[in-house]
Every structure is written in C-alpha cells, then in structure tokens.
Structure 1
Amino acid sequence: MDAFLTATLAVTLAEIGDKTQLLALVLTLRFANKPALVAGILVATLVNHGASAWLGHWLGGVLDATWGQAAMAISFIALGAWLLVPDKPDDENPGFDKYGAFMVALVLFFLAEIGDKTQVATVVLAAEFQSLLWVTLGTTLGMLIANVPVVYLGESLMRRIPMALTQRLAAALFIGLGVIAAGQLLA
C-alpha cells in the first residue's frame, strides 16, 4: 500500500504544471468530448506507466542490493532537483483533430510521457518498491488526479493553482525519499 500511496502523491504533485497538464488544458479547449479525453489520458498513462513500472521492477531485481539502493537514492534526489525546473509547453498545434478526442489524447499523452518526469518517477518508484501493479495504479491515479480537473475545469482552475508551490512540494518529496534511501544504505 505504501507503493500505491507514494506513487499517487508523487505523480500528482509532479504533474502540476507539467507539459502533459498543459497538453490537457489545450485539448480541453479544442474538444468538447471531455469523457473521451479522460479515457485517452487513462489508456495512454496505463500503457506508458505500466511499461515504465515493468522496467523499474526489472531493474530493481537485477541490480545488486547495495548498488540498486545507491542508484535509487541518487535517482530520487536527481528527480527532485529536476522537478524544480519548470516545463515549457511543446508545440501546441498537433493537427490531429480529425481523429477525435480519444485518439488525440491517447497518442499525444503517450508521446508526451516518454522521457517525462512522471515516467522516470514511475521507473524509480517501481524499482524501489518492487511492485509493478501498485506503482502503475498509483502513478496512473496521480496523473488522473492532476489532469481530470484540468479537462473539466480548464483555464479557470489553472489560474488558482500555485504551480511553483506544488513543484517545490513534489521536489521535496522525491529528495526526501532519496535521503531516506541513502540513510538506509549507510545504516
């Protein structure tokens, strides 16, 4: 259960102000079919984070315990530092409107997550907790918690969320997890 809760909280906070959240905002302004957008985000995240969690789970099982613990500690701290760098939106004119809200959200969210902070976080969390299912479900729920309100409430919600604060909280969470992992290594 720790894997699920940690993954949910970490990705929810990391996703605030992320490029995929900005993508959700752009898509919600383009498409009226909000349930289709949410379904596309859900499927894209399950596939992307499922593969990422599998990779992390595999890496966690392959690495020597000491080296694995050190790599996880460094990864958590590096990811926390990376979260302090704000994202910039990519080109927001995808030209895929003819494929419908579900397909556009599915393809764009899947592609936007490749190499993104939350994908890296999923790999690291799965390696740390060695729980493919709970990390995938937690990171997916975190993506939905952060993005579904944007889909339904759009721009008015984005003006009320202090992005800098949530990015700092997410950074502190990952750095804290890294420090704990390093402390366990040294103990």
Structure 2
Amino acid sequence: MDALLSTFFSVFLAEMGDRTQILAAVLALRYRRNGAIIGGLACATLLNCIFSALGGSVIDQWISETPLKLFAGLAYIFAGIGMLMWRRTVDPLATWKTPAFLTAFLGLFILEFGDKSQFIIAAQSARTPIWGMAMAGGFVGIMAATIPAILLRARLAQVVPLKPIRWISGALLLGWGLILATQAFGLA
C-alpha cells in the first residue's frame, strides 16, 4: 500500500502544470470530445505506467537496496529540477488529422514516454516487491492531475495557479530526492 500511495502523490505532484496537462487541455479544446481525450489519455498512461513499473521491477532484481535508494533519490531530484526549470512549449498537434482518441493516445503517449513520472514509477517499482502497486499509483496520479485539465480546458490557467503549484511541487520533489540520496550515501 505504501508504494501505491507514495507513487500516487509523487506522480500527482510531478504532473501539476506539466506538458501532459497542457496538451490534454489543448486537445479537449480542439476536439470538444472529453470522453475520447480521456480514453486516449487513459490508454497512453496505462501503457507508459506498465513499461515503467516493469522496468523498475527488472532493476530491482539487478541491484541492492542502497543503489535503489540512490536511483529513487535521483529520480525525485531530476523531477524536482524539471518542475522548477523553464518549460518548452507544447506542440498542439494541429497538423495531425487523426480522430480525437487516436491523437490523444499517440500524442500523450509520446509526450509521457521518458518523462519524469516514468522514472518516479520505475524507482518506486524497484523498491517494492509488488510492482503493480507502483504502476497503479502512477496511473491514478497522472489521471487525477490531467482529467481536470481536460474538463477545464482553457480555464485551467485561470482556475489553477500553475506556476506556484509547479514551484511548490518542484521544491517538495527536490527535497524528497535529496533526503533519499543522502540516505543512500549514509549521510542521514
């Protein structure tokens, strides 16, 4: 249960104000088909979370606890730094002539692939014997952070103060990563 909750909260924080939210909101605004966008998001997210969690479970078999703690610390540190840094603009996929579900699925899958949330899910999965809990926590975290963006669309930036949320989330992730990294080196 620890892996489920910690992954959920970590990934939820990492996705706040992230490009996944922005692209999902743009696609919802373009297509006006919330169900198709949410379905595409769910399929893309599930696939990415499965890859991440399976990758983490393989890593768990190769290395001992101390390097795993360092891996987790680095995943959180880089996620925190990514939240605090300047963001690239999101390609709205305006030239894609595919239906709403397919555009959402492919666009969000590509955008999420190799994202900070995947590393958090992999790190959490590597630290637990039940990798499915980390996968489920990551999936629910991404969905919980992104579905409101789909429903709010253009009002997202007006209703949710994205910049302060990104800074607070980034600081929390960075702090947690530093704690894990210092523990891995036996400094804390």
Normalising TM by the smaller chain, what interval?
A: 0.7 to 0.9
SS of 2:159's equivalent in the other structure is: coil
Q: Describe the superposition over 1:89-144 as per-residue Cα deviations: whole angstroms up to 9, x where unpaired.
A: 232234233x3111111111100111222222222222233432111111111111
What's 2:48 paired with?
48
Q: Distance in 2 between matches of 1:24 and 1:171?
A: 21
What's 2:4 paired with?
4
Find out whether 1:145 has 2:140 as its counterpart: no
Q: Describe the superposition over 1:42-69 as per-residue Cα deviations: whole angstroms up to 9, x where unpaired.
A: 0100001110111112112211222222
What's 1:166 paired with?
165
Q: Aligned residues: percent identity?
A: 31
The 1:78–1:91 alpha-carbon spacing in structure 2 relative to 1, beyond 3 Å, is: closer
The 1:93–1:65 alpha-carbon spacing in structure 2 relative to 1, beyond 3 Å, is: closer
Q: Distance in 2 between matches of 1:174 and 1:130?
A: 23
Instruction: Answer whether contact 2:4 2:133 (CA < 8 A) is retained.
Output: yes
What's 1:127 paired with?
126
SS of 2:81's equivalent in the other structure is: helix
What's 2:101 paired with?
102
Q: Distance in 2 between matches of 1:184 and 1:28?
A: 43
Q: What is the root-mean-square deviation in Å for CA atoms of aligned residues?
A: 2.0
Unaligned stretches of 5+ in structure 2?
A: none
What's 1:59 paired with?
59
The 1:180–1:128 alpha-carbon spacing in structure 2 relative to 1, beyond 3 Å, is: farther
Q: How many residues align?
A: 186
What's 1:36 paired with?
36
SS of 1:159's equivalent in the other structure is: helix
The 1:66–1:22 alpha-carbon spacing in structure 2 relative to 1, beyond 3 Å, is: same
What's 1:82 paired with?
82
Q: Distance in 2 between matches of 1:122 and 1:147?
A: 17
Relative to the length of structure 1, the TM-score reads 0.88
Instruction: Answer whether contact 2:72 2:120 (CA < 8 A) is retained.
Output: no
Instruction: Answer whether contact 1:17 1:86 (CA < 8 A) is retained.
Output: no
Instruction: Answer whether contact 1:48 1:113 (CA < 8 A) is retained.
Output: yes
Instruction: Answer whether contact 2:93 2:107 (CA < 8 A) is retained.
Output: no
Instruction: Answer whether contact 1:14 1:83 (CA < 8 A) is retained.
Output: yes
Instruction: Answer whether contact 2:15 2:21 (CA < 8 A) is retained.
Output: yes
Relative to the length of structure 2, the TM-score reads 0.88
Instruction: Answer whether contact 1:49 1:122 (CA < 8 A) is retained.
Output: yes
Instruction: Answer whether contact 1:12 1:146 (CA < 8 A) is retained.
Output: yes
